[in-house]
Structure 1
Amino acid sequence: MSAKYETLLVSPRDAAKLLAVSTRKSWAMTFAKERGLPHVRCGRLVRYSVDDLRE
């Protein structure tokens, strides 16, 4: 039996690749004053939902 796992949260670098932008641009989009990228913080870590990035 093989288990297939789907990644739910990705790092800023992987999010930038999915959005086809630079890592710096993804950070700017995350912390924009108006409508930034939806993200999850866990301490210092920032992660992005794959479903939110695909929308």
Structure 2
Amino acid sequence: MPEVEDCSGTGMGFCGHTYRGPAGRLHVTTVGEGSFPSVAGYRAQCGAAG
């Protein structure tokens, strides 16, 4: 997935995702493996997506 910025190589399988669009950015941290990992945290930044 192009939104994935980084994943841990060991442990619980944390991954960081950043979605960018005209309204801003959404940063999501997931944990776990498989088709449906759990959301561990998120942060929204309104404004320019640059």
TM-score (norm 2): 0.20
Q: RCO greater where, 1 or 2, for CA within 8 Å and sep 6 or more?
A: 1
Name whichever structure is richer in helix by fraction. 1
Name whichever structure is richer in strand by fraction. 2
Kindly name which structure, 1 or 2, has the bigger radius of gyration based on alpha carbons.
1
TM-score (norm 1): 0.19
